[in-house]
Structure 1
Amino acid sequence: MLRWRAAIVVAVLAALIGACAAPSQSADPSEGRPRVVSSAYGPVTITGSVHRVVALSADWLGTMLAVGAPVVGYRTDGPASSMPAAPWLQNTLPDSAVRLTGELDTARIAALRPDLIVAPTWLVTRAIGDRLAELAPTVVGDDSGVGTRSGSWERDLATAGTALGRDVGPLRDSLDNQIRATAAAHPDAAGKTFAIGVAGGGGQLAVTSSPDASTAKFLGALGLHLVEIPGATGLRTILSAENARILDSAYLLIMGSTTATSATVRTFTAGRPPTSPTLEADLPLLNAFNIPDASSIPVLLHHLDDVLPA
């Protein structure tokens, strides 16, 4: 299992993220004007400046922190939202921000006095969204799912920029340039396939199986394309240990486990060709690969640089 490196590497990654976030800190002249944002349950109008943001998923948290949003409360993914924020967010997450764990509690969110709430559809139904909208304008991503999703980091970034009334163009351009630089550094990956999966209990493996998944779009920008899973439907497909051998055909395999044990991962990675790179990720990193956001992309590129041949 890939472990986080020493503090110096964390500092380097934090510096990369900080460098990307810097252009987004300044307010756009439209910040104080009404803005209309697309949302799963209908357009949302935001009036005035945003000073207190509650982000109800890891990818929305990363996106908001990347643009310098004033986050006062957040929720991460995982069982009962028990996972802390990813390590690369620790330097940008305000100490005063409240982590919301357990069942979604609108009373706790109300106590944070938000003026903007961002959330995924897998957590916030229309009924819950209506209750949250009584507290503050609530933007619900219209393409999110548990563990994987469609859409793209670019669209989330644009949504954040519109909601906050900020120019996110420099940040988007900086991330695009980093992606292009990584692609140029690993030309052998162009045109090859990748697979990404999470091993769970009972010897099963959940793999991304749709080119519409956000991770497929992100890795597609590096020249990689998703390995074909026969009979797959939807964004994710469950494979047994026997059927998982189809993943051996993937040039790049990104693998992690909900049980955080390397032995579970090795069940699926054993027997792969030595020339095919394998990235064993802990759960925060694996979640970031499944749903890339503006904060995690520099981290993901760093790990890809480590495993892909130059």
Structure 2
Amino acid sequence: MKSTAKTLVALIAGLLAVILAVSACSPPAEEEAAGGPIQVNTAQGPVTIKGTPKRIVALGAQWIDTALAFGVQPVAYLDNIQILTGAPSPWTADKLDGATALNPENLVADIAKAEPDLILAEGYMPTSQPADFAKIAKIAPTIPGVTGKQVDPWQDLVALLGTLLRQDGKAKQITDGVNTQIADFKKELPGLAGKTYAMAYMFSTDQIQVMADPDDGAAYLFNELGMKVAPKLLAEFEKTKNPRFPISVENVPMLDADVLIVTANTPALQRALHALPGYSNLRSVQNGAVADLSVADISGLNQPTPLAIPYLLGKLKPAFTKAVK
């Protein structure tokens, strides 16, 4: 699911890790004050940004949310969540009103029309769409992800964009604000530490996609709360080294954990999941500690952002509260 179908794979099934070595080099203080060039070293070669970007194109929800967190509306954007669901994510609401939604089928030409001075791309784009990436990189300086991880840590995106916008203080404010909300959540529910969770996506009548790697980008929030991957899912990951994999519907007992975070493609699939043998016997189901999330919500967990995290804490709180009782 990259692009429509392709993007869904990126969010749910995961992408092959892209090996990138990225480091943003801050200019001397006098150059920064004058808006001097900043060089970002990537696996695609060094990228130089001259001056402070004014017209930013953001490709992917993580970059979109990061720009919006700075109060910067992209001139054009490609929102994988909007492609999947037909609407912007609930945490962006109307913040993209007036910006141009890019057409995935005419991406290069549409980006050129936006006349950007900076393009922020997903880290997997150079390998998944090499021809398009090469063309896009000729339009304006293009950053292909930050860390080389399957999902970039949201803090690293904030830090880099803060450097490029000459707003390091704002970057720290954004990061500190989100971290404070997570810390407050932990104080309110201290019993979460050590609790187990299973995250699953029912995308067909016979398969459920699960996340089992404790270092996966989608595990970020749970790790911050001191939670652990469901034992049976973790054991399978340690055996196969597959961070995300499908399980057949008869293997629902593998989802046994203190909390279940689950999404289904359609209401019909959600009903089918609830009716599966073994579902009602899950600890989380019996204790009411199930967070039934939307596709947009699970996308926000898969690719955490400074806008998505506070919103998702609210969505997860009822299930987490039941888990600690």
Cα deviation, residue 267, structure 1: 4.7
Aligned with residue 300 of structure 2, among 278, 284, 288: 288
How far apart in 1 are the matches of 2:261 and 2:195?
A: 14
The answer on 1:306 being equivalent to 2:313 is: no
The 1:83/1:234 distance shift into structure 2, 3 A limit, reads farther
| 1:31/1:164 contact within 8 Å kept | no
* Residue in structure 1 matched with residue 144 of structure 2 by the alignment: 140
Structure 1 CA distance, aligned partners of 2:272 and 2:79? 24
Give the unaligned 5+ runs of structure 1.
1-27
Q: 2:260 aligns with which of 249, 253, 256?
A: 253
In 1, Cα distance between equivalents of 2:49 and 2:206: 47
- Partner SS for 2:105: coil
The equivalent residue for 1:118 is 120
Larger displacement relative to structure 2 (168-177 or 30-39):
30-39
What is residue 241 of structure 1 aligned with on the other side?
Answer: 249
Letter in 1 for 2:111: I
Task: Specify whether residues 205 and 56 from structure 1 end up closer, same or farther in structure 2 by C-alpha distance, changes over 3 A only.
Answer: same
Q: TM-score when scaled to structure 2?
A: 0.77
Residues 204-223 of structure 1 correspond to what in structure 2 (within 5 A)? 204-223=207-226
AA partner of residue 133 (structure 1): A
Shift of 1:92: 2.2
Q: Partner amino acid for 1:234?
A: N
Aligned residue in 1 for 2:280: 270
**Deviations, residues 23-55 of structure 1 (Å, cap 9, x unaligned):** xxxxx9558222223545233221111111111
Secondary structure at the residue paired with 2:115? coil
Match of 2:166 in 1: 165
| Alpha-carbon distance between aligned partners in 2 of 1:279 and 1:234, rounded to the nearest angstrom | 24
Deviations 1:221-270 (A, max 9, x none): 1111222141343331111112232111x211110022354314425643
Q: Distance in 1 between matches of 2:91 and 2:34?
A: 28
Larger radius of gyration: 2
In 2: Cα distance, 1:212 partner to 1:43 partner:
28
The count of aligned residue pairs is 278
Instruction: Kindly indicate which of the two structures has a greater share of residues assigned to helix.
Output: 2
Tell me what 1:67 maps to: 70
The answer (yes or no) to whether the contact 1:80–1:101 under 8 Å persists in 2 is: no
Could you tell me which of 98, 107, 110 is aligned with 1:108? 110
Contact 2:261 2:291 in 1 (8 A): yes
Q: Is the 8 A contact 1:44 1:138 kept in 2?
A: yes
Counterpart-to-counterpart distance in 2, 1:99 and 1:229: 42
Segments ≥4 residues shifted beyond 6 Å = none
2:93 is matched with 90
**3-state SS in 2 of match to 1:178:** helix
Corresponding letter in the other structure for 2:137 = A
Partner deviation per Cα, 1:100-126 (whole Å, 9 max, x = no partner): 234252001100111111111344434
Higher relative contact order (CA 8 A, sep 6+): 1
Separation in structure 1 between the aligned mates of residue 295 and residue 306 of structure 2, nearest angstrom: 18
SS at 2:156's partner residue?
A: helix
Deviation at 1:135, TM superposition (A): 0.9
Contact 1:150 1:212 in 2 (8 A): no
- Whole-angstrom distance in 1 between the partners of 2:313 and 2:34: 32
Kept in 1: contact 2:81–2:87 (CA 8 A): no
Distance 1:71 1:150, change over 3 A: closer
- What runs of 5+ residues in structure 2 fail to find an aligned partner? 1-30
Offset of 1:285 from its aligned partner?
A: 0.6
Within the candidate set 186, 189, 194, 2:192 is matched to 189
Structure 1 match to 2:14: none
